[in-house]
Amino acid sequence: MMSAARRGLLEANRGRYEELRAAGQSATPKRLPEPTPREGAVIAADAIIRREMVPPGWYTTVALRRGEALRVTDPSGRSSVSMIGWRQEDPSERINCADTVKVQWTAALAKGRVIFSDMGRVLLSLIEDTSGAHDLLAGGSTPASTLAAYGATTRNTYDNFLGAAAKLGLGLRDVPPCITFFAPVVVGADGRFAWKRERKHAGDFVDLRAEMNLVLAISNCAHPLDPARPAASEDITLTRYRAPPAAADDPCRTGSPEAARAFTFTDRLFA
């Protein structure tokens, strides 16, 4: 038999959960900023550290320090960009898609949201985003998914992440589930995935501000749910630039009570 005291604690926990859920699914979305206009948020020329292009099918690694950001741009509107990332000083800390979804009460990443590590800290903040159509669920392409889609195994995100990890001294064990930008995957009312092509636009970009020192692996391969045959990916552009750490009133930091706590825990790494 459960004690009255424990019953009381559990009832209190249920009440708190319902309050957090209400805040997370109504108050927080209202506080999110509007999407960035595709012609907006021009990066000051003197803030740019490096700009590079990644051809379709290929990957690169980007080291990003706290105080820097990375703009990922899809000029053609036909590419999707899969990404994983590790904390530079301890790569056992890495991107965690499940926590990113669960903690923010949504699978829909957009401007004002953050990407979590597995340690309750913020890896990256979406400080600009024209798209709001990103996938945290279905993952990147694999040898099997390209064979099924195109009739032959092509370059794919699984192989790309292995290559990127290897060049950092890491291996298959270090490759976690990925996020894919410009991948408009939604879960329909029938519980099935659907691809919303109309949510992809030429010139879409997302700006990721590093909240700790990171290494990112970025793969420019068609998303496995993208119906284009053959794959229609084009070059993508990566622009690394100086971006000051989140101020006290930063919209990503203040977007939700959960984000505020995660920033507090992240800041402790640098206190």
**Can you tell me which of 27, 98, 166, 202 binds another protein, judged by CB under 8 A?**
98
Which residues inside 115-144 make contact with another protein, applying CB under 8 A?
A: 116, 118-121, 136-140, 142-144
- Contacts (Cβ under 8 Å, ≥6 apart) of 149: 141, 222, 224, 229, 231
What is the spatial distance between Cα 138 and Cα 59, in angstroms, rounded to a whole number?
Answer: 19
Residue 144 has a CB neighbour count (10 Å cut-off) of: 12
Give the binding range for another protein (CB under 8 A) out of 35-43, 61-69, 181-189, 209-217. 181-189
- Residue 87 three-state SS: strand
Give the binding range for another protein (CB under 8 A) out of 3-11, 48-56, 66-74, 228-236. 3-11
Q: What are phi and psi of 128, to 5 degrees?
A: -140, 150
Could you tell me which of 214, 71, 216, 225 has the C-alpha nearest to residue 141?
Answer: 225
End-to-end CA gap in the chain: 46
- Give the helix/strand (H/E) hosting 194: strand 193-195
**Comparison of 130 and 145: residue with beta carbon closer to another protein:** 145
Q: What are phi and psi of 95, to 5 degrees?
A: -55, 140
Q: Does 171 bind another protein (CB under 8 A)?
A: yes
**Can you tell me which of 43, 64, 84, 97 binds another protein, judged by CB under 8 A?**
97
Structure tokens at 156: 């794919």
Which residues inside 20-49 make contact with another protein, applying CB under 8 A?
A: 20-21, 25
CB of 37 to another protein, least distance (A): 22
**Comparison of 27 and 98: residue with beta carbon closer to another protein:** 98
Residue ranges in contact with another protein by CB under 8 A: 2, 9-11, 13-14, 16-17, 20-21, 25, 92, 96-99, 101-103, 105-108, 116, 118-121, 136-140, 142-145, 158, 171-178, 186-189, 191-193, 224-225, 258, 261-262, 265
